[in-house]
Amino acid sequence: MYDVNSKCADDFINHEEILETLAYADENKENVALIDAIIEKAKKRKGLSHREASVLLACPIEEKNQEIYKLAEQIKKDFYGNRIVMFAPLYLSNYCVNGCTYCPYHAKNKHIPRKQLSQEDIRREVIALQDMGHKRLALEAGEDPVRNTMDYYLKSIETIYSIKHKNGAIRRVNINMAATTVDNYRLLKEAGIGTYILFQETYHKESYLELHPTGPKHDYNYHTEAMDRAMEGGIDDVGLGVLFGLDKYRYEFAGLLMHAEHLEAAFGVGPHTISVPRLKHADDINPDDFNNGIDDDTFAKIVACIRIAVPYTGMIISTRENQKTRERVLHLGISQISGGSRTSVGGYCEPEPDDAKSEQFDVSDTRTLDEVVRWLMEMEYIPSFCTACYREGRTGDRFMSLCKSGQIQNCCHPNALMTLKEYLMDYASLETKAIGDKLIEKEVLNVPNEKARAVVLENLRLIEHDNRRDFRF
Ligand code: SAM
């Protein structure tokens, strides 16, 4: 039975509840009075239930969809301003014992080169990432209990945080790794991880079992209940996601929101982020072999509906998407994007030969970080390298209260400007720097509190003239 508070995946992601939700959405998708009422509720910026949001997602009425897009854009502006947080993935290892049918790291793939970075390799990769200007990483790895042990992860995190190369530093390490135990989550928390990310892949249990035929990931309940264990282990920033293309998107959308509702109900804090990856071509994986691919319009609608359903949750888009798609969804709710990414193990130091690639999927946006930063600024976004919340202990519900307090503009906005300034001083091309300096000059005026504005101006001066770094509110 559906129970948002239950600790059992079959209850909080209840199949019958999803089917009823989809039937309700179908019945009401052209019910203008109901749709108007849901949009009015969404305008209060307190979110929507999975049922309400599913009605909006199903709605085919063009005029109403335009209202949904407009509201998503407005909510995005209200909560995140024009800041976009930057990050890069770092692949530690592609050894994997699972049989995921959509991922080229599946254990039966005998021709993909298998690699695991040594601590020395990690040093080199991190220096390359620091030299690009990155401050925030998402660690990625396959599941291999013998090779990719908890000790290996902990040592790797320690290594990454310890590297100080020129003015560089990795200030926040997020991690996307297989579901594990409460004790291991506790160890990750102690090691100083930011967000624990785990994609559900699909919420449809029957499909999940088929798509993950072998290996520990086959256990749907253990995987789906991972965020509960992470929270019990003290990690209060967790990142959800589904891999769109595996099952029907409306089913996934309802499941995703039910998962968010469950975390909020059971732990008092919803997901810190939601990622929206789409299935991509990769080594021996052909997305056409899967029947549930979604087009760009549907993708944009999903992003907009997530934005208004969970206004406090950050939304992440990776370089799986090309520039054009990224541009479209940035307006509709995305708050974090990667740039200059490599999805191969060791790819930041050494480009791999064409016949021996360890990539997890093809990257569609192949621009450098400098190009991505410039492109964002040309659209009047502020690329932010800020990691302050996590380092000031503003995680979980404390981060949410910052969002709700309306102090973001006096806090996140200055932090974005100061970290962008660091980037411009240390890593940007001359052209990017010129655009960025102008943007900062203009945007500093948008810090509402006079005192805060004065501090920001002084810090910007110290960054530029005294080579000082790492200011934060
Ligand atoms: N092994 C971990 C796990 O079990 O979740 C870490 C995940 S993996 C390194 C990161 C994510 O890449 C997966 O969760 C999956 O959603 C995504 N992925 C796998 N194959 C993909 C493909 N062909 N196209 C796009 N994304 C893919």
Per-residue confidence (pLDDT) for residue 421, from 0 to 100:
98
Query: What tokens does 195 get?
Result: 């967000």
- Residue whose CA lies nearest to ligand 1 atom number 11: 199
**R_g of the chain, CA atoms, integer Å:** 21
pLDDT the model gives residue 79:
87
Rounded CA separation 89/139 (Å): 6
- Structural tokens at position 241: 């996601």
pLDDT in tens, 16-50: 999 999 999 999 999 999 999 999 999 999 999 99
Candidate of 148, 193, 199 to mutate for ligand 1, largest count of ligand atoms within 8 Å of Cβ: 199
Please tell me the distance between residue 38's alpha carbon and the centre of ligand 1 in angstroms. Answer: 34
Q: What is the DSSP string of 424-440?
A: HHHT--HHHHHHHHHHH
State the pLDDT at residue 406. 66
The protein residue with its alpha carbon nearest to ligand 1, atom 13, reads 199
Nearest CA among 264, 258, 270, 380 for reference residue 314: 270
Residues with CB under 6 A from ligand 1: 102-103, 140-143, 176-178, 198-199, 201, 217, 243, 277, 279-280, 282, 285, 320, 360-361
Nearest residue CA, atom 1 of ligand 1?
Answer: 142
- Residue 353 has what pLDDT? 80
Cα 322 to averaged position of ligand 1 atoms, centre (Å): 18
Instruction: Give the pLDDT confidence score for residue 208 in this predicted structure.
Output: 98
Could you please report the per-residue DSSP string of 147-206? TS-HHHHHHHHHHHHH---TT----EEEEE-----HHHHHHHHHTTEEEEE---B-S-HH
Angle at Cα 218 formed by Cα 253 and Cα 177, nearest 5°?
75
Closest to 197 measured CA to CA, from 89, 53, 123, 347: 89
> Exposed e or buried b for every residue in 144-181, given b needs 16+ CB within 10 A?
beeebebebbbebbebbbebeeebbbbbbbbbbbbbbe
Closest C-alpha to 200, from 231, 249, 242, 156:
242
Contact, 329 vs 300, CB < 8 A?
yes
Closest-CA residue to 99 (of 256, 215, 207): 215
Phi and psi for 194 in degrees, rounded to 5?
Answer: -85, -90
* Ligand 1 atom, smallest distance to 176 CA: 6
pLDDT, residue 445, reads: 96
Number of C-beta neighbours around residue 268 at 10 A: 12
Mean pLDDT (10-residue bins), the chain, 473 residues: 97 98 98 98 97 98 98 94 97 98 97 97 98 98 98 98 97 98 98 98 98 98 98 97 98 98 97 97 95 97 98 96 97 96 94 83 95 98 95 84 74 95 98 98 94 96 97 93
Minimum-distance ligand 1 atom for the alpha carbon of 142: 1
Atom of ligand 1 nearest to the CA of 91: 9
- What pLDDT is attached to residue 18? 99
What pLDDT does residue 236 have? 92
Report whether 97 contacts 216 (CB < 8 A).
yes
Half-sphere exposure of 332 (CA within 13 A, CB side): 24
Nearest CA to ligand 1 atom 3: 178
pTM greater than 0.85? yes
